[in-house]
Structure 1
Amino acid sequence: MSDRQTKRDQFKNEEKKSTGKLLLPGILALLAIVTGAAWLLLGSGGTAGTRTVTAADDGVIRLAASDFDGGRAQFFRYESRRGPITFFVVRSQDGVIRAAFDACDVCYKEKKGYRQEGDAMICNNCGQSFPSNMVNIVKGGCNPSPLSRQLAGGQVLIQVAALEQGARYF
């Protein structure tokens, strides 16, 4: 092999090495971008894992109270005449089952809703934290907008008329 061929081979090997060095950081950057986009689109909003519910002929949505024993907020979607309305139901640490629209008076236009962290509901738009035992008690501002509910016969009852009153948030 001539000196000239040896030098060519040396540069070919360096090109292969540098490609490998750039490939791993590129893959990691792409993975970070995809993960961030998925979190923003699916995981940040309160509506991830949302269940669609329908009302009975009497205009009442019935949810089993035992479904809320774990203390995790559950998110629901109701298709009203004016469009979808989302809300959540949670059993707070004081044992009360509470319900609220997945919106507030301040941030509702952003349509980001809430998420749960521990025993608090967090606004996905402004980051304000609200203890779950204050849902349905404190209203206004960035607090979750209260949704009227009743507990009867082991069921949480939500009137469609009450949901329709919150349609303006959505």
Structure 2
Amino acid sequence: MLRKTLFGVAATACLLAVLASAPAHALFGFGGKFQRVEPRDGVVTIPVSEVVDGDAHYYILKRDGFEVKFFLLKSPDGVIRAAFDACDVCFREKKGYVQDGEFMVCVNCSQRFHASRINEVKGGCNPSPLEREAGPDVVTIRERDIMAGRGYF
């Protein structure tokens, strides 16, 4: 009886920890972590104000039967960076990256990459760089550059 009670308490504590730390969309499936983007005249634009908080913001472009996933974040050095949610090594697992403070972490192999290295280092398990241009108001990414990463997905 005591074992069942302790197990119940432990299971409840774990569930509460998950509920407290995860955003509602991740738990209940509405919205998901990826925000869908649509190009206009061959260009995707994302407001700079949406990505300057230091958090990774995830996007998806659905085109021609492909779903290409990428993320943007402003690194501690003030640069807005972009990368596919995949790398040259682990992309077949389709797990992508999660953020841990100033690091992006490969969900498949747990390699950690400092945010300031995104777009600077490529190859291996580094997040695969995505060309972008950050202006004062919007980040622009060419649709063809996003679609160039479809092999990862």
TM category (shorter chain) comes to 0.7 to 0.9
Change (3 A) 1:147 1:64: same
Query: So what's the TM-score if we normalise by structure 2?
Result: 0.83
CA RMSD of aligned residues (A): 2.6
- Following superposition, the deviation at residue 25 of structure 1 comes to 3.7
In structure 1, C-alpha distance between the alignment counterparts of 2:65 and 2:16, rounded to whole Å: 34
Change (3 A) 1:70 1:37: closer
Number of equivalences: 145
Q: 2:90 aligns to what? A: 107
Q: Deviations over 1:16-35 (max 9, x none)?
A: xx4xx354245346557878
In structure 2, C-alpha distance between the alignment counterparts of 1:130 and 1:155, rounded to whole Å: 25
Query: Counting helix residues as a fraction of each chain, which structure ranks higher?
Result: 1
Query: So what's the TM-score if we normalise by structure 1?
Result: 0.75
Amino acid at match of 1:64: P
Q: 1:92 aligns to what? A: 75
Whether the 8 Å contact between 1:82 and 1:167 is mirrored in structure 2 is no
Q: 1:24 aligns to what? A: 5
Partner residue of 2:53 out of 54, 59, 70: 70
Q: 1:146 aligns to what? A: 129
Calculate percent identity across the aligned residue pairs. 39
* 1:157 aligns to 2:140 (yes or no): yes
SS of equivalent to 1:75: strand
- Structure 1 alignment gaps of length 5 or more: 1-17
Amino acid at match of 1:127: S
In structure 1, C-alpha distance between the alignment counterparts of 2:65 and 2:140, rounded to whole Å: 21
Q: 1:7 aligns to what? A: none
Q: Deviations over 1:95-117 (max 9, x none)?
A: 11010000000000011100111
